[in-house]
Amino acid sequence: MTAEFMNVKETADYLNMSVTWVYREAPKQGLSPYKFGRGRNAKVQYKLSEVKSWALQQRLE
């Protein structure tokens, strides 16, 4: 079974960006996070297929 979601660190590694960038800038750039849980135990994750699709859209012609 393949992972459908990636945590913030995995997303940052996949995009070759910093964790801080993923938290602050990714949502501004159109990459939507998913939040699972509440309060201090909440986990922010990104859907792998959406990250791949978003990355392809960033390609320069």
How are the residues of the chain apportioned to helix, strand and coil, as percentages rounded to the nearest 5? 45, 20, 40
Q: pLDDT at residue 1 above 80? A: no
Domains along the sequence of the chain with CATH: 5-57 (1.10.1660)
Q: pLDDT at residue 61 above 90? A: no
Report pTM: 0.86
In Å, how far are 2, 5, 6, 37, 46 from 14, measured between CA atoms? 15, 12, 9, 24, 11
Q: How, if at all, do strands 34-36 and 43-47 pair?
A: antiparallel
Could you report the per-residue pLDDT of 2-55, keeping only the tens digit for each? Answer: 679 999 999 999 999 999 999 999 999 999 999 999 999 999 999 999 999 999
Which pLDDT score is estimated for 18?
A: 97
Which pLDDT score is estimated for 24?
A: 95
Long-range own/partner contacts, residues 15-21 (CB < 8 A, 24 or more apart): 15/51, 15/55
